[in-house]
Amino acid sequence: MAQRPRNALQAFYGFASQQMSGTAQLVTNTKGGVSSQVGMSMAPPLWIVNFALLYILKPSLAAAMPAHWAPIPPAVARAVRSSPSGQVPFGDYASYFR
């Protein structure tokens, strides 16, 4: 029996994680045993699929993808989650980012 390609399976999990993330498009990711909120594009299945597609289409662009992720500051994540649109004015929260 033929095995399902790994990227196809990742795409399935990416779709599922998008559905669970809601309007805010935030997901929980864990690094060093600490869980925190990150943007949807940093969900492992989406990152892998995006990298694979970019690598096929334009390797130089894929090479510029972030190798590390940083959590969204908790106050910003709370504001985004409580917003009906999943958006907040950047100017109101810019001080939370370095």
DSSP 49-97: HHHHHHHHH-HHHHHTS-SS--PPPHHHHHHHHHSTTS---HHHHGGG-
Are the CB atoms for 71 and 10 separated by under 8 Å?
A: no
Residue 1 pLDDT grade (very low, low, confident, very high; cuts 50, 70, 90):
very low
What is the C-alpha separation between 76 and 88, in angstroms, rounded? 8
pLDDT at 3 over 60: no
- Residue predicted with more confidence, 25 or 2: 25
Top pLDDT among 78 and 5 is at 78
DSSP reduced 3-state for 32: coil
The predicted-structure confidence for 57-86, as pLDDT tens digits, reads as follows: 999 988 887 777 778 899 999 999 899 998
Distance CA 76, CA 80 (A): 6
Q: What is the pTM of this model?
A: 0.62
Residue ranges of the domains in the chain? 6-96
